Amino acid sequence: IFKGYIDGTPKETDMELKLGSTIKLEAPKGSSLILVKNLYLSCDPYMRGRMRNFHGSYIPPFVPGSVIEGLGVSKVLDSDDPNFKPGDIVSGLTGWEEYSLIHKNDHLRKVESDSIPLSYYTGLLGMPGFTAYAGFFEVCGPKKGDYVFVSAASGAVGQLVGQFAKLNGCYVVGSAGSGQKVDLLKNKLGFDDAFNYKEEADLDAVLKRVFPQGIDIYFDNVGGSMLEAVLLNMRIHGRIGVCGMVSQHSLSDPKGTRNLFHLVIKRVRMQGFLQRDYLHLYPKFLEDVSGLYKQGKITYLEDMDQGLENGPSAFVGLFSGKNVGKKVICVAHE
């Protein structure tokens, strides 16, 4: 349950576990509701934005006292809609609870179970994977030989951006917040280089060291001081895909980003985007990325906690970098 609107970094106590509520295990007849059993729940940084009483964003705030809403993978138990039958596996918006009654909506997708783990439909083949795909290919416009930099590079989105860049003949460097993550980037995910930004006092200097030629594409997941340093190191006609600014989410007074004039000097295209603007590409994304995964050409790091009661700590950990890869909560096995 979401307790109430917050300032600053989310804490476990901003959420409450409520035991003992019961619901009838059938969807009300004639309603547009589907009864599901939740299997996997996704922890995503955008959910922090819904903990603020702000109505001007692309998604409304959570309702205090209500069940937290989030993306997940669920099994249909009952439905009046012939498109969703009992036993079907679906992905889409659901509740942080064991069973949910969810409204039919355009975003609810049937998952065709195959050799790919179901939980990956919250990550590799879900919203974060699609964000990496649309953001990198549509917004950043990669070319063979481009120098690509990715921040929060071991996370749900970043790890795939780096692998897409490598598959497209780019040189790619990632930043992450621990030695373990840096090691994974270099030795498991195929990045050409990586560094721990928490150990670097001078971000401009480290970028000059890893990109002596400068950066063609910056896939920005963090904003703030990393973006400031990147602007100084962009090449002429570079592109910046502004995917997210996780370093700024919890600041009540976000710092202004300096060095923006370098966009002009270097004629850089810096473009914010929402994955939902590219949904027409979703079928192609599923085909391309599941194909690459099955051929062993990409890998995916997942960081799973067991049990709904561990949801709050899993979510809070995103903002101190506790997650190594896509954070997901297993509520029940199929």
d(CA 26, CA 99): 11
Crossing angle (nearest 10°) for helices 127-134 and 158-167: 40
Using the minimum distance from each CB to ligand NDP, give the nearer residue, 180 or 306: 180
What is the footprint of ligand NDP within residues 191-210 (CB under 6 A)? none
Binding mask 109-128 for ligand NDP (x = CB under 6 A): -------------------x
Q: Are the CB atoms for 168 and 269 separated by under 8 Å?
A: no
Name which of 45 and 162 has its Cβ closer to ligand NDP: 45
> Is 216:146 a contact under the CB 8 Å cutoff?
yes
Query: How far is it, in rounded angstroms, from Cα 284 to Cα 137?
Result: 12
**Shortest separation between residue 293's beta carbon and ligand NDP, angstroms:** 17
Q: Does the protein bind ligand NDP through residue 176 (CB under 6 A)?
A: yes
Considering only residues 243, 268, 298, 330, which one is a binding residue for ligand NDP as defined by CB under 6 A? 243
273 binds ligand NDP (CB under 6 A): yes
216-242: b (≥16 Cβ within 10 Å) or e: bbbbbbbbbebbbbbbbbbbeebbbbb
Looking at 40, 41, 44, 234, which residue binds ligand NDP (CB under 6 A)?
A: 44
Residue with tokens 């373990």: 180
Which one of 75, 166, 181, 239 is in contact with ligand NDP (CB under 6 A)?
A: 181
Which of the stretches 69-77, 103-111, 112-120, 151-159 binds ligand NDP when contact is defined by CB under 6 A? Answer: 151-159
* Under rule CB under 6 A, residue 312 binds ligand NDP: no
Q: From the CB of residue 302, how many other CB atoms can be counted at a distance below 10 Å?
A: 18
DSSP state for residue 136 in the 8-state scheme: I
Looking at the Cβ atoms of 24 and 198, the one nearer to ligand NDP is 198
Q: Which is nearer to ligand NDP, 99 or 136 (CB)?
A: 136
Can residue 101 be called a binding residue for ligand NDP (CB under 6 A)?
no
Question: How many angstroms separate the CA atoms of 273 and 243, rounded?
Answer: 6
Cβ(219)–Cβ(199) under 8 Å? Answer: no
Q: Which one of residues 5, 6, 14, 46 is an interface residue with ligand NDP (CB under 6 A)?
A: 46
Q: Total binding residues for ligand NDP by CB under 6 A?
A: 30
Rule CB under 6 A: choose which of 182, 222, 316, 329 binds ligand NDP: 222
Using the Cα atoms of residue 119, residue 120, residue 121 and residue 126 in order, give the sign of their dihedral: positive
Count of helix runs (H) and strand runs (E) in the chain: 8, 13
Q: Both tokens of residue 27?
A: 């969807």
Q: Pick the stretch among 60-68, 259-267, 282-290, 320-328 that binds ligand NDP (CB under 6 A).
A: 320-328
Q: Are 191 and 165 in contact (CB under 8 A)?
A: no
Instruction: Tokens for 168, please give them.
Output: 């497209």
Q: Give yes or no for residue 319 binding ligand NDP (CB under 6 A).
A: yes
Please tell me whether residue 100 binds ligand NDP under the rule CB under 6 A. Answer: no
Binding site for ligand NDP (CB under 6 A): 44-46, 128, 131, 152, 155-158, 176-178, 181, 221-222, 243-247, 273-275, 318-319, 321, 323, 326-327
